[in-house]
Amino acid sequence: MGRWGDDYSLRMENFFDMPRTKKLPQVEQKQLEDKETNIDHLVAGDLPQSLTESTTPETSEVGDTTAFAHLGKNSYSDSVDKQLTYIHFWGGERGGAGKSTGSRVMLHFLLNVVKDSTFYLVETDRSRPDVKTYYGELLGNRCVDAFFSEAEFKSNSADIIFEKALQTNVLVNLPAQIAVPFDEWIERNCLAEMTAEKNIKMVMWFVCSGEEDSVDLFFQSLEKYGCWMQHVFVRNEGVCPDEAVWQRIAQLPKMKQAQEQYHFPVINLPKFYMADRDALKTNPMPFEQALKRNDIFTELGKKRTHKFLDKAASEFNKTGLFDTNY
pLDDT at site 34:
52
Which whole-number Å values give the CA distances from 323 to 45, 61, 114, 118, 130, in the listed order? 47, 31, 7, 15, 27
pTM for this prediction: 0.75
Count CA atoms within 13 Å of residue 323 on its CB side.
6
Of 151, 159, 150, 164, which is closest to residue 121 (Cα–Cα)? 164
- The Cα 79–Cα 288 span in angstroms is 36
Give the three-class secondary structure for 286.
coil
Each domain of the chain, given as residue ranges in start order, spans 6-55, 85-318
pLDDT at site 93:
86
pLDDT at site 325:
60
Which whole-number Å values give the CA distances from 24 to 12, 19, 21, 40, 208, in the listed order? 19, 12, 9, 21, 90
pLDDT at site 15:
38
Q: Which residues of the chain have pLDDT under 70?
A: 1-80, 151-155, 325-326
- The Cα 114–Cα 125 span in angstroms is 25
**Long-range contacts at 38-41 (CB < 8 A, ≥ 24 apart):** 39/9, 39/12, 39/13
- The Cα 150–Cα 162 span in angstroms is 18
Angle between helix axes 99-109 and 299-318 (nearest 10 degrees) is: 90
Question: Has domain 85-318 been given CATH number 3.40.50.300?
Answer: yes
State residue 172 phi and psi, 5-degree precision.
-120, 125
pLDDT at site 95:
85
- The Cα 173–Cα 177 span in angstroms is 13
pLDDT at site 240:
96
pLDDT at site 276:
96
How far is residue 118 CA from its own chain's centroid?
11
pLDDT at site 323:
84
Of 156, 139, 140, which is closest to residue 148 (Cα–Cα)? 156
pLDDT at site 324:
74
Which whole-number Å values give the CA distances from 118 to 76, 110, 171, 230, in the listed order? 18, 10, 11, 22
